[in-house]
Amino acid sequence: MKRMIVLAALVALIAPASSAASASGLHVIGSGSAPARGSARSHVSAHASQTDAHLLYLRVYGRHLTYRWKLHCVSDRYGAGQITTYTPESRTTQSGQLHRLIAGNPYAPPSLSQGDCTITASASGRGPIRLQILAG
């Protein structure tokens, strides 16, 4: 019974935000989820690749959340070559908040806004958590 209540709460959190992402033209290209672990922190990771990446975002659902990401992009545009960017330390976030990884992020130059990218992300938090990598 307790598990069903937790699952119903998680679905209630995810459904409205997923429809908002669809309305903005974003779609999920990678995701991961972890069940509640009592009072212990839950951990999750996700991996995705995107060809001709224009916009990449990261979003996490749960409570007391921290996240990290690593992004590797290759682009021949303007002689940009290859670049790897990452979060040097864990960052805190609110449930459902979008975090832009390209095109406006100070960690990624504009010349990579149409490159081929690989994204690896991880998150931890209390209770059930879900991590999404989105592209637009």
Dump pLDDT digits (tens) for 45-92: 999 998 877 788 999 999 999 999 988 877 766 555 677 777 768 899
Q: Which residue has the tokens 């995810």?
A: 14
Amino acid making up residue 128: P
Sign of CA dihedral 7, 13, 18, 19: positive
Structural domain span for residue 60:
2-135
**Residue 96 belongs to domain with CATH number:** 2.60.120.1300
| Residue 128 pLDDT > 50 | yes
Residue 54: the pLDDT is 74
Tell me how many domains the chain contains.
Answer: 1
Q: In Å, how far from its chain's centre is CA 132?
A: 4
